Amino acid sequence: MAERSPSRPGVAWEEDGAPQESSSLLEPGEVYIIQPLQIVDASWLPVYQRERELVEFIVAFVSSPEEDAEQKMRFLDNIRLLLRTVQLTGLSEGLDIFCRRFRLVENIEMLLDEEPRDQLSTPVQHFAMDAIVALSSVRSVLEGKERRLLAACFRSVFWLPPKGEIEARHFSLYMMTLMAMDKMLESVVLSYPASRVSEGLQSIFQMLLDLATSDNMAVQERALQRIMYLSRFLADKPTVEAWDRVGRDTYGSVCYRDIQIPILGRLLGCLILFQSSSEATAPLASDAFRFLQQFMENQ
């Protein structure tokens, strides 16, 4: 058996290419040989002069192992804060190189896979998805890594106990985490280049549909909620202008009528079946079906 590499944020992927996407949503992705990242100076980054402390903490975090939840959340929030400064100042030069060099996407994935799946006691998942939203604004940083990253997000949240069994003191955190996931899904879809929107939506709906047919009712319900949200998102964007993201290069306009999702027929069929299933899933399936119909009528 291959030795399992340590699942820690303070490491970098050893290989140069993008990690291969995992086909499983139940278990973490493929095991990679990883080694500590040597600290590299990041003062060349234009935004470094404005946010030196944020940049240096990010570099230090990925350069050495760190298991403390507070430090994990600070790392994730620093990514969000750094990207907010970039958006406000326009100091985006070299940011894509920085994100790839310090493997920010891969480190977020590892943090998500470290979180327990039977409880939600810290906002790490919430912060991670906020960081993904921020990274989606950096051109090409997520490209080719979306499926693995989304799968890690789903794994870290979907197998939590049913909503009715979430501890009262953690219920607010649970709801905020799901809201963060919906916002993240929207940002990931909007981050796709025009030529990959259809491919991206196909991949996301495929993952969610696989989860919606799980034997675990809590997983079913959470997957259907995300399908319903994405369907509403599509139904609400009938024009090319609606897909434009303010303040960033969309590298080509999205032609709404050209969006093709091959899995749509199977998805609609499953939603029809869900409408006659449990009381928890029927309303979600009904709403998702209605939004997808509106999406097709808009096309």
Residues 106-128: tens digit of each pLDDT? 999 999 999 999 999 899 999 99
Instruction: Classify residue 161: in a domain, yes or no.
Output: no
Q: Which of 189-198, 243-252, 261-270 has the lowest mean pLDDT?
A: 243-252
Residue 34 has pLDDT above 60, yes or no: no
240 found inside a domain: no
My answer on whether 173 and 297 are in the same domain is no
Would you state the pLDDT for residue 20? 41
CA distance 256 to 139: 21
Statement to judge: residues 219 and 138 lie in one domain: no
What pLDDT digit, counting tens, does each position of 132-187 carry?
999 999 988 999 999 999 999 999 999 999 999 999 999 999 999 999 999 999 99
Please write down the long-range contacts of 57-63, taking CB distance under 8 Å and 24 or more positions apart: 58/82, 58/102, 58/104, 59/102, 61/9, 61/10, 61/107, 62/9, 62/10, 62/11, 62/12, 62/37, 62/102, 62/103, 62/104, 62/107, 63/10, 63/36, 63/37, 63/38, 63/39
Grade residue 30 by pLDDT with cuts at 50, 70 and 90: low
Kindly state whether residue 38 falls inside one of the protein's structural domains: yes
- CA angle 7/11/16 to nearest 5° reads 110
Neighbours of 272 (CB within 10 A): 12
Under the banding of pLDDT at 50, 70 and 90, the label for residue 37 is: very low
CB within 8 Å of 222: residues ≥ 6 apart: 157, 158, 178, 211
**Lowest-confidence range among 46-60, 98-112, 165-179, 184-198?**
184-198
- Does residue 186 share a domain with residue 90? yes
Confidence (pLDDT) at 154? 98
Kindly state whether residues 222 and 184 are assigned to the same domain: no
Residues 203 and 75 in one domain: no
Q: Does residue 97 share a domain with residue 177?
A: yes
Q: What is the reported pLDDT for 23?
A: 43
Residues 187, 220 within the same domain: no
Q: Would residue 252 count as lying in a domain? A: no
132 and 217 inside one domain: no
pLDDT score for 65: 66
pLDDT at 52: 95
pTM, two decimals, is 0.85
What is the pLDDT at residue 251? 53
Check residue 21 and give its pLDDT: 45
- pLDDT of 76 reads 97
Q: Is the pLDDT of residue 28 over 90?
A: no
Report the percentage of the chain scoring pLDDT > 70: 80
- Tell whether 247 is covered by a domain: no
**Would 86 be classed as within a structural domain?**
yes
- pLDDT score recorded for residue 24: 60
Number of domains in the chain: 2
What is the span of the domain harbouring residue 219? Answer: 193-234+262-299
Compute the average pLDDT of residues 65-75: 88
**Contact between 99 and 135 (Cβ < 8 Å):** yes
The predicted pLDDT at position 67 comes to: 79
Q: Is the pLDDT of residue 4 over 90?
A: no
pLDDT in the model for residue 243: 64
Closest by CA to 13, choosing from 115, 132, 104, 134, is: 104
Note whether 100 and 148 are same-domain residues. Answer: yes
Alpha carbons 88 and 291: distance in angstroms, whole number:
35
Mean pLDDT of the chain: 84
Q: Which pLDDT belongs to residue 7?
A: 37
Of residues 277 and 72, more confidence is placed in 72
User: Per the domain annotation, does 51 fall within a domain?
Assistant: yes
Same domain, 110 and 121: yes
Residue 244 has pLDDT above 80, yes or no: no
Type of residue found at 78: N
Band (40; pLDDT cuts 50, 70, 90): low
Same domain, 43 and 183: yes
Examine residue 100 and state whether it is found in any structural domain, yes or no: yes
Same domain, 142 and 285: no
